[in-house]
């Protein structure tokens, strides 16, 4: 299968390490991965700000660039949810859009559901707390929302349990929002900070050395708060753990 690698614009600019880890995780599974250089933003910031004209242009561009790949895989639940859930108002009826929706996956979802990875052949001897970001958890179904009060499944957790030496800790509120929310963190910064600090304390109380998740935007928010306050919590994207990388500052 031929994979079109969809790297969100902010990851490309700010987190090249997590972006490269995504590529390497896929290549370690023997997949042919192509990175279209002409890709740009998926349009999520425009959607959050009501700039629908700009969003339509970006949606059409995304379809044109990625429509011929067997699968489109990206390391961001919120950006993938943008394509699968919110492009329809602009692209319904466009040739190739139905296929694009069906074949666009978040990285962990792709590893878990499509190619069904059995082992990663890596070791990560650390206590890890999992942050279930809102878009991936609820829009994409990466896990079962706790508010449904039904037996829970979690695709990210299932993948982490395949990593040798990794100890997954149990937090009290496993799918509570971190407070980032894109423009929310700007418009309601005080509330956003309180929510982020709550997530940090929940993970630290559970004994986590590392927090991980499928959305670098949420992890960026958490990491910034933890660093500024000198909290002993390291933050890594799921791709970096599944790629066998070590937490920054350790050996």
pLDDT, position 251: 42
End-to-end CA separation in angstroms for the chain: 36
Q: Which domain holds residue 37?
A: 2-114
Same domain, 10 and 84: yes
Q: At what angle do helices 216-229 and 189-205 cross, to 10 degrees?
A: 80
Nearest Cα residue to 166 out of 245, 77, 251, 75 = 245
Q: How many domains, in total, are found in the chain?
A: 2
Same domain, 237 and 132: yes
pLDDT, position 159: 98
Contact assessment for residue 115 and residue 81, using Cβ atoms and an 8 Å cutoff: no
Same domain, 131 and 238: yes
DSSP 179-244: S-TTTHHHHTHHHHHHHHHHHHHHHHHTT-SEEEES-HHHHHHHHHHHHHHT-S-EEEEHHHHHTT
End residue of a domain, out of 86, 114, 142: 114
CA 137 to chain centre: 10
User: What does each of the 251 residues of the chain score in pLDDT, given as a tens digit?
Assistant: 899 999 999 899 999 999 999 999 999 999 999 999 999 999 888 887 788 778 889 999 999 999 999 999 999 999 999 999 999 999 999 999 999 999 999 999 999 999 999 999 999 999 999 999 998 999 999 999 999 998 889 999 999 999 999 999 999 999 999 988 877 877 889 999 999 999 999 999 999 999 999 999 999 999 999 999 999 999 999 999 999 999 975 54
- Sign, CA torsion 153/247/124/210: negative
pLDDT, position 48: 76
Same domain, 100 and 164: no
DSSP 165-183: T-EE---SSTT---S-TTT
Answer whether residue 120 is part of any domain: no
DSSP β-ladder status, 234-237 and 210-213? parallel
Answer whether residue 119 is part of any domain: no
pTM of the model: 0.93
Answer whether residue 25 is part of any domain: yes
In whole angstroms, what is the distance from residue 36 CA to residue 57 CA? 18
Same domain, 135 and 184: yes
Same domain, 11 and 110: yes
Answer whether residue 108 is part of any domain: yes
Same domain, 134 and 188: yes
Answer whether residue 248 is part of any domain: no
Same domain, 90 and 133: no
User: SS3 of 129, please?
Assistant: strand
Burial of 115 (0-12, 13-18, 19+ CB in 10 A): middle
Answer whether residue 208 is part of any domain: yes
End residue of a domain, out of 81, 114, 147: 114
Same domain, 138 and 94: no
pLDDT, position 50: 80
pLDDT, position 2: 95
Answer whether residue 249 is part of any domain: no
Same domain, 162 and 235: yes
The two structure tokens encoding residue 209: 């050395």
The two structure tokens encoding residue 180: 């980032």
CA 215 to chain centre: 3
End residue of a domain, out of 114, 139, 160: 114
- CATH of residue 28's domain is 3.40.50
Same domain, 72 and 98: yes
Same domain, 157 and 79: no
Answer whether residue 150 is part of any domain: yes
């Amino acid at each position: 299968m031929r994979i079109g690698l969809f790297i969100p614009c902010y990851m490309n600019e700010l987190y090249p390490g997590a972006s490269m880890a995504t590529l390497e995780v896929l290549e370690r599974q023997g997949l042919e991965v192509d990175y279209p250089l002409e890709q740009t933003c998926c349009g999520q910031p425009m959607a959050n700000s009501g700039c629908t004209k700009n969003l339509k242009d970006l949606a059409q561009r995304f379809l044109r660039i990625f429509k011929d790949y067997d699968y489109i895989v990206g390391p961001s639940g919120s950006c993938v949810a943008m394509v699968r859930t919110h492009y329809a108002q602009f692209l319904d009826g466009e040739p190739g859009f139905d296929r694009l929706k069906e074949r666009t996956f978040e990285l962990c979802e792709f590893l878990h559901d499509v190619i069904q990875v059995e082992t990663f052949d890596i070791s990560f001897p650390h206590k890890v707390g999992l942050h279930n970001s809102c878009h991936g958890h609820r829009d994409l179904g990466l896990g079962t929302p706790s508010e449904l009060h039904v037996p829970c499944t979690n695709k990210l957790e299932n993948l982490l349990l395949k990593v040798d030496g990794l100890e997954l800790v149990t937090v009290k509120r496993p799918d509570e929002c971190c407070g980032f929310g894109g423009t929310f963190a700007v418009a309601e910064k005080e509330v956003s900070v309180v929510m982020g600090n709550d997530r940090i304390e929940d993970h630290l109380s559970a004994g986590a050395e590392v927090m991980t998740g499928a959305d670098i935007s949420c992890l960026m928010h958490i990491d910034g708060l933890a660093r500024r306050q000198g909290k002993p919590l390291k933050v890594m994207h799921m791709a970096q753990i599944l790629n066998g990388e070590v937490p920054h500052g350790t050996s």
